[in-house]
Structure 1
């Protein structure tokens, strides 16, 4: 299992174990993490799983695709380190990853 820390906009931290092979979004949903809505269920079609990736982890999470970049246009509060959590696969290399959530997904 890979330990991921999800931090809500208000600073509340949720440290959970996520099975490698799942996405960050699936890990959040399976662990009832508030702040990741995942309205489309992970199809990269809604931008309601928007997160901020800590800069130290950017290389390990990989580059965003053109489709992901297009969907981020619909997210609020997009920053250079914004990603859709449905597009990041969890692996052992992400053990200790910290992701922050925006104030709102809508």
Structure 2
């Protein structure tokens, strides 16, 4: 499991295998290309992982239809990783808040 934070250091999500979960442990996305770019259940770009940060690029090239992976199930309680500290965003990135990701439905 990899805990993911925004640039403010707030915990917003976690990655487990090829799936992305919000801080409430609900699946919100997956990594169909087995890289660091996540999409939602309809295949729309959701965001990018950079080390332990998750952000949304202002432009992401369409990579084709990715299909639907099915529902991965409940991963269990993820715990609380604490605060990661501040970092700068990439120039083409924007932050998510935990609330924004908690409102995404699979």
Normalised to the residue count of structure 1, the TM-score between the two structures is 0.27
- Rg (Cα) greater in structure: 2
TM-score, normalisation: structure 2: 0.27
Q: Relative to total residues, which structure has the larger strand share, 1 or 2?
A: 2
Please identify which structure carries the higher helix content: 1
